[in-house]
């Protein structure tokens, strides 16, 4: 009975995780056209408003106070929101790097293999294209291996061109996993640090039968 209780609890966790993901993408569906329109209205780049904090959005609307362009560029290269004692802190640059190193399991920087979770089987080789945000999607070429932290619906044109996908985050129900199964392309998620360990142009083998990415050159 204790085992059954534990299994039912895990089922409930999975249901809430899927529900959260569904609502997240539903919110993005409605927010993207709104934020895009507002960005243009306030003479920002198309997706700039997505990198504003809530209080910064309010300040923009009331006082037209803008986040400096160089700060936005730093956020676009990588950012995380840390919840600590009911307060959110935005981490970017060196702060983000230190926090990632603190949280990540030890990885051998010289390792020629990266491991993750298989969500769609297959085995392909190709050149790496690392995408840090959606402004870099156009650089993905036909047959390349798309490497990113996580995917969202606006990644789909690039995912169609890619031979396989690798993500730092995610599980069996994440966006990349769902799209990979629909397109029947090899996909490994939850690698934690693929975007840090792989470089544009590197030749890799994505063995999505064993959950291993091998660096060939």
149 DSSP assignment:
S
- Residues labelled as active-site residues: 175
**131, 200 Cβ separation under 8 angstroms:** no
Own/partner long-range contacts of 1-6 (Cβ < 8 Å, ≥24 apart): none
Q: Do you know the residue count of the chain?
A: 217
In the chain, the DSSP E strands lie at: 79-84, 87-92, 113-115, 117-120, 123-131, 145-148, 164-167, 187-189, 203-207, 212-215
Q: Is the separation of the CB atoms in 159 and 151 below 8 Å?
A: yes
Question: Token digits for 185?
Answer: 């392309």
């Amino acid at each position: 009975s204790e085992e059954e209780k534990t299994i039912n609890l895990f089922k409930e966790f999975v249901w809430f995780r899927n529900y959260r993901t569904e609502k997240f993408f539903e919110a993005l569906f409605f927010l993207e056209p709104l934020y895009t329109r507002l960005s243009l209205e306030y003479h920002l780049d198309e997706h700039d408003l997505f990198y504003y904090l809530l209080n910064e959005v309010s300040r923009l609307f009331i006082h037209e106070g803008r986040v400096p362009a160089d700060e936005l560029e730093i956020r676009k290269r990588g950012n995380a929101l840390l919840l600590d004692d009911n307060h959110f802190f935005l981490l970017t640059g060196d702060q983000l790097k230190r926090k990632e190193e603190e949280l990540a399991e030890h990885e051998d920087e010289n390792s020629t293999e990266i491991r993750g979770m298989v969500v769609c089987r297959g085995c392909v080789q190709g050149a790496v294209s690392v995408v840090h945000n959606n402004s870099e999607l156009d650089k993905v070429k036909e047959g390349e291996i798309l490497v990113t932290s996580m995917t969202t619906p606006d990644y789909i044109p690039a995912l169609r061109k890619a031979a396989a996908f690798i993500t730092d985050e995610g599980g069996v129900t994440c966006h990349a996993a769902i799209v990979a199964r629909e397109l029947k392309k090899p996909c490994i998620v939850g690698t934690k640090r693929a975007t840090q360990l792989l470089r544009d142009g590197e030749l890799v083998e994505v063995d999505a039968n064993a959950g291993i990415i091998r660096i060939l050159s």
